[in-house]
Structure 1
Amino acid sequence: MSELFSEIDEDLRREKLKKLWEQYSVFIVAGAILIIAAVGGWRGYQYWQAKQAAEAGSAFEAAITLSEQGKHAEAEAAFAKIAAGSSRGYAGLARLRAAAEVAVRDPQEAAKLYDSITANPAMSTSEQDLARLRAGSLLMETAPYDAMRQRLEPATGPDRTYRHSARELLALSAWRNNDAVAARQWLDMIANDGQTPAGMRSRAEALQALLPPAAKS
């Protein structure tokens, strides 16, 4: 008797499944197609991204080779092309390298390019700070201290990647512009930062020794 009831239950289940399939088969098939299409689209996008990154990487290496061969005009054009059309990572690096190539022929123009990188919200904070430093290095001989401070001070914060170099450049700029008070401010900051590189700490101590006695008190 139990076997009979089991067979009846099985028939009822089949009948219900059949009705459900008849009612919802279109939606089930459509959903399956959408899932397959979504997975395929995502895989295709991943492949496209990988291909783009590989192409950008090859182009970047080729541009570096041009630079190393002294073909700075060609390297500049190659880096500019990468910056205009590559993925974010390579585009940022290419902008920095393009400005470096310009610096070979026109430091003032290169400084302007670095400033545009600093002002570009698409660039990371570290990339912006690196651009500040490179522009500051190019202008060290000619820029007044106040202009250097305005340019570099944002990079001197305790959480900034290039803070040590930014502080050193500001100390040098203040010293060159006969501002002993400002020079001492940055030299003290270098000395009091436990993560200051040893070589930079030694240079700071040497510069500190050149300050007039009144600035040391």
Structure 2
Amino acid sequence: MATHLDLEEQEQLDQLKHFWATWGTLISSLLTIVLLGLAGWNGYQFWQARQATQASALFDAIETAARGKDGQRLEQAFSDMRAKHGGTTQASQAGLLVAKMQEEAGKLDLAKEALNWVASSGSDAGYKAIARLRLSSVLIAQGDYDQALEQLNFEFPPEFGATVADRKGDVFSLLGKREEAIAQYKLAYKGFEPSVEYRRLVEIKLNAMGVRPEENTSDLAKDAGK
């Protein structure tokens, strides 16, 4: 009996050796790939978490500098943010915050620099659109109407259409192009929901030009091509 069992065990052992000799290398390779993949994934997750933590810390430093109106510290922290975490949403938020502080301080060139960076290098389409709109406002304040209009001619997400049209109307009005301004204001008026307070402001602009928008809705489609 014992001999019979020993023979069975030996046969099973021989089968296992044969199986391993045939498939062992492939199985070892697959296990290595899986383990390396898991290690890589865990490493990537750790790296992402670390990057997010560092970006948040820099954003906090930027907020602190903004509250304290510490321009030098603000620029240094924002420079670090752009260099190390430029692809994060915190970097775009930081750029808008830096621009706001610089505008309030009357440093429009520095505000333009921050807004230009967000508009060109930001990772979020919404923040990039906001940056271009605000950049157009800074350019208008500096009297650079052509450059302001150029910023507004970029492709914007659909939800910004009415605001962009209103801003274009402002630029055309400042350039003395009355008909173009009216056409853009009409588009803006149509684009804003009636419940949006900004629509009332657009209506006031149109009224100042002798236009009652509610009486000209039939012309909006024609104006869209201008």
Pairing 1:75-86 to 2, within 5 Å after superposition: 75-86=74-85
The 2-side partners of 1:196 and 1:87 are apart by 38
Q: What letter corresponds to residue 119 of structure 2 in structure 1?
A: T
CA apart distance, 1:205: 0.7
Closer/same/farther in 2, CA of residues 119 and 48 from structure 1, 3 Å limit: closer
Correspondence for 2:178: 180
Decide which of 190, 193, 196 is 2:191's aligned counterpart: 193
CA apart distance, 1:196: 6.8
The 2-side partners of 1:64 and 1:138 are apart by 22
Q: What letter corresponds to residue 126 of structure 2 in structure 1?
A: S
The 2-side partners of 1:109 and 1:79 are apart by 12
Q: What letter corresponds to residue 20 of structure 1 in structure 2?
A: F
Determine if contact 2:95/2:118 at 8 Å carries over to the other structure: yes
CA apart distance, 1:145: 4.2
Determine if contact 2:96/2:131 at 8 Å carries over to the other structure: yes
Determine if contact 2:133/2:164 at 8 Å carries over to the other structure: yes
- 1:178 match: secondary structure: coil
Closer/same/farther in 2, CA of residues 9 and 193 from structure 1, 3 Å limit: farther
TM-score w.r.t. length of structure 2: 0.75
The 2-side partners of 1:76 and 1:135 are apart by 18
How many residues are paired up?
Answer: 208
- 1:88 match: secondary structure: coil
- Cα deviation, 1:9-67, whole Å, max 9, x if unaligned, reads 99877644431113332432343233222212211220121121012112212211221
Unaligned runs of 5+ in 1: 1-7
Closer/same/farther in 2, CA of residues 161 and 10 from structure 1, 3 Å limit: farther
- 1:70 match: secondary structure: coil
The 2-side partners of 1:61 and 1:197 are apart by 36
- Cα deviation, 1:150-208, whole Å, max 9, x if unaligned, reads 221325x5x43433332222222323333221221111101222547621110011111
Determine if contact 1:63/1:78 at 8 Å carries over to the other structure: yes
Correspondence for 1:43: 42
Closer/same/farther in 2, CA of residues 138 and 66 from structure 1, 3 Å limit: same
Q: What letter corresponds to residue 172 of structure 2 in structure 1?
A: A
Correspondence for 1:5: none
Using the aligned pairs only, state the percent identity.
Answer: 20
TM-score w.r.t. length of structure 1: 0.77
Q: What letter corresponds to residue 206 of structure 2 in structure 1?
A: Q
The 1-side partners of 2:209 and 2:120 are apart by 35
CA apart distance, 1:139: 2.2
The 2-side partners of 1:195 and 1:98 are apart by 31
Correspondence for 2:136: 136
Unaligned runs of 5+ in 2: 1-6, 217-226
The 1-side partners of 2:188 and 2:93 are apart by 28
RMSD: 3.2
Q: What letter corresponds to residue 70 of structure 2 in structure 1?
A: K
Correspondence for 2:116: 115
CA apart distance, 1:116: 4.2
Q: What letter corresponds to residue 173 of structure 2 in structure 1?
A: W
